[in-house]
Every structure is written in structure tokens, then in C-alpha cells.
A and B are shown apart, each in its own frame.
Chain A
């Protein structure tokens, strides 16, 4: 089947299998920053924004994205334009193996879009769906709070 969607701001027309999940469709089109972690909607490594809301793309059918806007990690900065959230994760050494990091960055984007001044408790709640065995979540929580400052700084 054919689906029409907006991926990182670009209109796309993709041929998909009816049973194909969004993670697979994205990765098949080179957007490999979206990870396969549990393929069960539990670990958060595959997080993308669907119309600005975080979803686990491994349990969203590609067909369900038809007519919607998808933002992946690739839509949040590139080597020349580092997104302040990414800068915050790097500065805090919140990136260890880095497999879960894109999902966390995407989740932070959603959080800050809706709540520009999150508390530590907000940061914890937002990261709770993102499993990470490397960091113990301590530095990612700090990175989310630092990212809020950086995003604010970038806007003023």
C-alpha cells in the first residue's frame, strides 16, 4: 500500500506492507537513528514524534502514519546544526552506549515543547519509558534539565 506522510518536514510517498511497523519503514528509508530495542513498545529506543506526540514506532503501523507528520531523531539537528537537547546530552556525558539516546532526545523534545520549565520529577516521568542500563538515568535526568535551559537560551 501507498502512504503519504511528512517526515522531518519533507512530504514523502512510501510503499509499505500492510503489516509493516513504522520503525521498519523509517529504517528502510535510511532513518536508522530510530532503534529496534524490544519491538514491544516497552523500551523507548524507537521513539518518534507523531504530530508532535511521542509514540513507540515499533508498535505503530506504518499505515497509521498515513496523513500524519513524523519527526525522527534525524529531524532534530545534524552535524552542522546541533540541537540544544543533543548538546545537553553530550555535555552531561549522558551518552554512554548511545543506543537509547535518540529515543531520549526525542522524548525530551516533546517534553520541552509542552513544558519548557520541567522539574526533576517531570524529567524522570518523561524518561521512565526509556530503558537505559548504562547510565542509571542520573545524567540523562540532568541533561533534560540542562536542555530546558539551553532551549530557552536559544529562543531568547
Chain B
């Protein structure tokens, strides 16, 4: 793929003044859906009740690794209210991936609707459909399954051991060329740029350290849920909490062997996704029940099922190696990753590609090496999770940068500044780290990372750092990290929009883009209102319904504002042009001609230079009923090879109680360059929410398994996400920049905040205690143990 850097390339610095002229963009408009949600008006998948609806309950595998010898469902089928029991013996066997990615998905096709061999505690075994949920649950106990229990693989290193049990021994599974199921390798990659060995040889200092990062559960407020039925034309309607309705339709059609045009996927309001709903996780089962019974069907996971059987963030072991000169100039960087995808390889390649792609290019070096293996284990399945490899990679890189700075005796912040990428610089790894194929080249346009550092540094009081308390049981520390992410998947993500004019001068905006709580319905409406010069309430948005909206890849990869927003802008520019042409035609008929090019749109009307105007309503009435009759409407699609990174600098001040090991984050500052914030409060909200998700990653969230691979902390009592009592005092700083490649100067904002807290807090704790933790989460137990060890070592030294 060769897509040269565009000739009209610029950094956007000259466009900053444009922001002040915006009427709707850049303002904190009332979000279009906020009131109905605050009033609890039925909007979510589960908020409908259909007559005759069947309720589904799942039988999950009790074993980490076992072959199903036989299933006897006769007793279950005889139970009151039971309508059918689905299992591997009575459904089709078509390999697929649950990863809701573009076609062809770069994840291995290693799943079936029901497997013959279960591969983790919580894998699918059978599904009961009954008149009530209680009846379905009671029937589960009557299903007799005979298992041949196999040796499980419960550690990623063990997966690679010669002679390790082969988790995917079925002949049908296949993947990309590096897929090696015989050796439990779901994905692998090796990339080099420059002469890596020579660069390391020239370096004054070479430092290599290993880091490890844990599991994380998405903890969406709304669990995975789907309700299906046949409409009056016997078409299958799938109402599902999804981030990817169009991928859902495509994958369902294939695995159900049912014509795509007879499926309608509807995304109602979604109660949070964070990547967990970028997965075709459960809608296939109610769909099958509906197709076989003709009746509506509902499947909703419980919280324990969510924790054990949905998806997680990929745990990784990362080895980071840096070659650096004495003056702090980086010359070589090497990252080796061993990732654990669990039983199935959803997003096994691309999450790990992003672990390198979002991190390594942030600091310039002469040479880079990235080596990655994603292995199968008999543990819960990893997948997409907000940040998509970034939170893992930044823990390693940004802890490592502090360690290198310390070795060199440099201020960690000034050391970073010296090596950071900036406007006009090329991303050395963009082509090598594409989405399962070679990516397009990338030159950075807007980049305000240095200003993010300046402002964050001032807000946290970085200069107090040396004066913080370093004696007594309570220690304080300040840490920071620098971050970048992406805006959509270049050359892959595509969004589209359709706009039409109504008689009152309002517009219907139909988008495939999927608001899952991100605010995209509001943000896309703002882009439309700005382009059409109307107030926000004149835009009536409808999103994500495969029958009634045009295509969009979905809500993932920080793509919606940047990619789908540009599609909305294109569609609205087409409508704006038609409005000018129609107005010119009306004036021509009145005997007062003008050229459309001389007209402009302002406050809901097409205006002539002399101030005369025709309102959109007048134009619509004329084009509907009077003259040159047609519907003013247009559509736009957008795909781009550009992927402008947002940048950020995060700072935290922590207090560590050395007697209990408890860490309290006192203050958090996130300075972010997301281009022009279309809706500033929403950008703050994304930042606050993303940071707090990763506060849990840093401090409290992990999966705990017993020796048989069973998840032990599968309730909210035992799996601890941050609450209102845990979140620190918070400051979000939106740093001004203008991204020429984005609609109205916007870049993405949704994922970058999740990248920061892991390293920022680990660095602050290292500053507070003088102890470097290289493994998350930083639980009180872990901190206390390390402190005791340090104290013992100190005492031994004093005695000796």
C-alpha cells in the first residue's frame, strides 16, 4: 500500500483562530439524549417486553480444558416451560471469530457456536430456552454432560513449553500466516526498523526491564444482552447492546447461515461498551432460538457470567530495552511482549500491535525492534478493551523512561522532552504496524505534547517534588507519563451519514456510528448543525440500525468523531450546496437571479450578500410542492489513511501508607491535546472516565484463579472497581490545537486517558517510596511486602 504524505500537508497551527468563529462546535450543548436517560425513560435493549418472549440461560463449562464426550438433554427438555436446548450436537459448526472487526477480521477463526471441546471455565456448553428465566435456570441442572478432562494450560509461559497441551487441535481453526495453533500461538509479529543491534552497541547505557500487567474486566453498567424476534415479514430483528451493529449482522448471517438481507440489527441505547461490546458475544443464541421457534427470545448475562465468560483486557508480560546516550538521547528501543489471549484469539494480533504502535513511536530513536507472541491458555478470553493494548504498553514504556532517567541522573520530565515526537515528524513504525497488514505512512501534524507537559507540570506543582515528605509512615510522591494514541484505524475504518431537509428547516441525520454513551449522537449532531448553520435542536439524529442507517464500522478505535464526524460533515456540505442551488433557482424564477457561489448559510437561511434571505423551511416547501420538486438530501462516506494521534501528559500525586501499603491518589492532572474539542465537557468526561477505569487497573483490579483455572473473584464484592470514594481530586486540561485532517480540527479523546494512570501512579509510588514496582495492580499487600523487604535490607545494611 503506498499512500504518500498529502501535498497540502500542514500542522494546523495557522487554523487555531477558526475555532472562535464556530457557533455550535466547541460549545457545551445539552447532550441530545441526557434528559431521557436521567429520567429513566425506556431506551435500552432490555426496556421492552414482547409477548411470548422466551428466556435463555447458559450452561457453562466447569472445566478449564475438557472434551465433551456426550450431552444428554432429555431430562432438561422435559422440565416445565422448556422449549429447546441448544448444544454442539444440534447447531451448525462454522468457524468464526467473535471479534467485531472489519472484514476480513485479522483475528483467528477459532470459535464455533458451541465447541466440542471446552477451553476455559465459563466456555459455552449448552443453552436452555424456556417460558421464564427461572424455568430455564432450573432446567440447566438437568443437563447431563460427560467430560473427558484434559490437562489445562494456566500460564502463558507454559503454553509455549515443548509438549504443552494443544488448546486448538480442531482442524477447522485458521488465522493469518503467523497463526500457529499447534504451538498455542494465536498471533505473532516481529518488526525491525533501522540497525537495532548497531544502535544498541553504540549506546552509552543499555537498560532492560520486565513488566507485567493484569486482567481487567470492562464493568459496563449494562451487561451483555440481546433480544430477538421475527417481524411481520418474518425477518430476524436483533436488538442488541453492541458497539458494532454492522459487523454483528455480517457475522450472524454467516454463522447462522441465514440471508443477510433478512436480518436487521438495531442498536438501542447501550449502557457502556469499552470494547466489551465490540464482540459478537451472545446474539447468535437468541437469534437461533427465534429462528427455530418463531418466538421472541432474550439472553442477558449475569454479572458473574460477565466476569468469567465475556472478555477481558489482555494480560501481558513486557520486556522493554532501551539504548541511550549519556546526554539522554535515545538511540534504540526494543519491546518484547508475551500476551495471554485465553481460550480464544479475539483481537489477539491487533491489541498487541497497538501495544507497540501507540507507545514506541512517541520517542524518537534510530532503531526499533518489536517482537510479540500472543498465546492461548485455558483461561478467560481477552478481547478489545478501551485503550486496546495502550494501557499495557504505556505501563512498561513510561515506567521504563523513569528508570532510564534515574540511571542517567536526569529529570524524568526533561529526559522525555528531549526525545518526544513533534509536529512534522514521521512515525517510523506506522507502516510496519498496520492492522494485520502494512499500514499507511504517518507524519504528525497537530501535536501539543510539550504544552501538555508545561500545563500539567504547573497544575500538579512538579517543582514541589523534591520537598515532599520522605520520612515517617506516610510518604508522598509525584509521578507523570507522556502518552499518545490514534484516531481510528487508517485505511480500514469507514463511517457514513445521510442527511435530509424537512419543511421546518430541520434535518434528519442518519448515521451508522454507534453511541454507546460516548456522546457521539450529540457530537455528530453538533458537526451537522455547524455545517448547516442551525442550532443543535434542528438536527434530529438516528443512529445505528442496519435497515435505516448507512454503514459504519462501529464505536471502536477512537474513530467516531474523527472518521464518522468527517462523513457527517461531507454529507452536510452536500446539503449546504443543494440549499444554495435551490435558493438561487427560487430567486431566478422570481426574476432576480444570483449565483449559488455568492450565497452563504447563516442562522437557518440562505443569504445574499445584500442581506436578503430564504429560510430553509421556505426552500423545503418550495422544493417539495412548488418548483423543481425534489428532496434536498445527501450522503457522505469517509475513510482516511491519516490517523492523527491525540497526545497527553498525566500527573499524579499519591500518598502511601507504609504501615498498611494503601495508596491514596490525592490529585490527578490530565492535560490532553485532542485537537478541537467538539463538546468540551464530554471530552473532560471521557478523560475522567478513562483515567478512573485505569486507576482500577493500577491499584485494585485483577483476576484471581484457583489451581483449576476457575475465576474466584467473580462478583463486585471481590472484583474492585474504583468508586466515588476512590477517585482523586481531578483536573482535566484541554490543550488547544487544530488537527487539519479532522472535522473542525478534532482528533480523538476516548482511549488516550486509559493509557496514563498505570505508569503515572507507579512512577509516583516509586518517587514516594524509592521502590520500583514493575507489576500491576499495586495492591496494599504488594506494597506492604515490598516496603518490609526494603526495610529489612536497610536494617541488615545498618547492622553490617
Interface residue ranges, A against B (CB under 8 Å): 19, 27-28, 32-40, 42-43, 45, 72-74, 76-79, 82, 86, 89-93, 95-102, 105, 123-141
Contact = CB atoms under 8 A, between A and B. Distances in A.
Most A-side CB within 10 Å, residue of B39, B46, B218, B722: B39
B685 A73 contact: no
Contact of B221 (A39, A79, A97, A126): A97
A129 B726 CA distance: 12
A24 to B, nearest CB: 9
B615 interface: no
Going nearest first, the 3 A-B pairs with the smallest beta carbon separation are A33-B40, A97-B517, A98-B37
A27 to B, nearest CB: 8
B724 interface: yes
Nearest to A143: B38
Nearest to A36: B46
B34 to A, nearest CB: 4
Contacts of A45: 221
18 contacts: A33-B40, A42-B303, A42-B715, A72-B40, A73-B40, A78-B39, A79-B41, A93-B679, A93-B682, A95-B33, A97-B220, A98-B271, A99-B220, A134-B689, A135-B689, A136-B689, A136-B691, A138-B730
A131 B46 CA distance: 19
A96 B723 contact: no
A64 B379 CA distance: 40
Contacts of B269: 97-99
A139 B732 CA distance: 12
A138 B517 contact: no
B221 A35 contact: yes
B760 interface: no
Given A93-B685, A137-B727, A36 B300 contact: yes
A67 B710 CA distance: 43
A141 B39 contact: no
Interface residues of B, number: 58
A61 to B, nearest CB: 14
B303 A38 contact: yes
Interface in B676-711: 679, 681-682, 684-685, 688-693
B725 A102 contact: no
Contact of B219 (A35, A93, A128, A131): A131
B685 A101 contact: no
Given A32-B40, A124-B724, A136-B691, A40 B31 contact: no
A41 B209 CA distance: 43
B685 A134 contact: yes
A40 B716 contact: yes
Nearest to A99: B271
Contacts of B715: 38, 40, 42
Contacts of A91: 30
Contacts of B31: 90, 93, 95
B424 interface: no
Interface in B420-472: none
B717 interface: yes
Contacts of A132: 221, 689
Contacts of A37: 221-223, 303
Contacts of A128: 723-725
Contacts of A100: 221, 271
A131 B221 contact: yes
A89 B717 CA distance: 27
A57 to B, nearest CB: 13
Nearest to B33: A98
A97 B222 contact: yes
A97 B271 contact: yes
A78 B38 CA distance: 10
A19 to B, nearest CB: 8
A34 B721 contact: no
Contacts of A99: 37, 44, 220-222, 269, 271-272, 517
B684 to A, nearest CB: 8
A133 B28 contact: no
A73 B272 contact: no
A37 to B, nearest CB: 6
B518 interface: yes
Contacts of A102: 37-40
Contacts of B690: 136
Nearest to B220: A133
B70 interface: no
Contacts of A101: 37-38, 40
Given A79-B39, A90-B34, A133 B721 contact: yes
B770 interface: no
Interface in B11-59: 28, 30-31, 33-44, 46-47, 49
B89 to A, nearest CB: 31
A137 to B, nearest CB: 4
Contacts of B218: 133
Interface of B: 28, 30-31, 33-44, 46-47, 49, 134, 218-223, 269-272, 274, 300, 302-303, 516-519, 679, 681-682, 684-685, 688-693, 715-717, 721-725, 727, 730
Contact of B517 (A79, A82, A96): A96
B687 to A, nearest CB: 8
Nearest to A78: B39
A93 B679 CA distance: 10
A139 to B, nearest CB: 6
B35 A133 contact: no
A135 B38 CA distance: 14
Contact of B723 (A19, A137, A138, A139): A137
Which of A82, A125, A139 is packed against the most chain B CB atoms within 10 Å? A139
B185 to A, nearest CB: 32
A76 to B, nearest CB: 8
Contacts of B300: 36
A81 B519 CA distance: 24
A141 B681 CA distance: 14
Which of A27, A77, A135 gathers most chain B CB within 10 Å? Answer: A135
Given A127-B723, A131-B219, A97 B272 contact: yes
A34 B44 CA distance: 11
B41 A33 contact: yes
Contacts of A90: 30-31, 34-35, 38
Contacts of B684: 93, 138-139
Contacts of B679: 93
Given A135-B689, A138-B692, A138-B730, 18 more contacts: A32-B40, A32-B47, A43-B303, A77-B39, A91-B30, A93-B28, A93-B679, A93-B682, A95-B33, A98-B36, A99-B222, A105-B38, A125-B724, A132-B221, A133-B272, A135-B685, A138-B685, A139-B681
A80 B223 CA distance: 31
Nearest to A86: B38
A38 B716 contact: yes
User: For A32, A89, A92, A97, which residue has the most chain B Cβ atoms within 10 angstroms?
Assistant: A97
A89 B34 contact: yes
B55 to A, nearest CB: 12
Contacts of A34: 40
Nearest to A106: B40
Given A37-B223, A131-B221, A132-B221, A28 B49 contact: yes
Contact of A96 (B222, B302, B685): B685
A39 B302 contact: yes
A131 B37 contact: no
B35 A82 contact: yes
Given A32-B46, A97-B270, A128-B724, A136 B35 contact: no
A125 B725 contact: yes
Contacts of B722: 136-137
Nearest to B515: A97
A78 B730 CA distance: 33
A150 B528 CA distance: 32
Contact of B303 (A40, A97, A124, A135): A40
Given A78-B39, A95-B34, A42 B219 contact: no
Contacts of B223: 36-37
Nearest to A28: B49
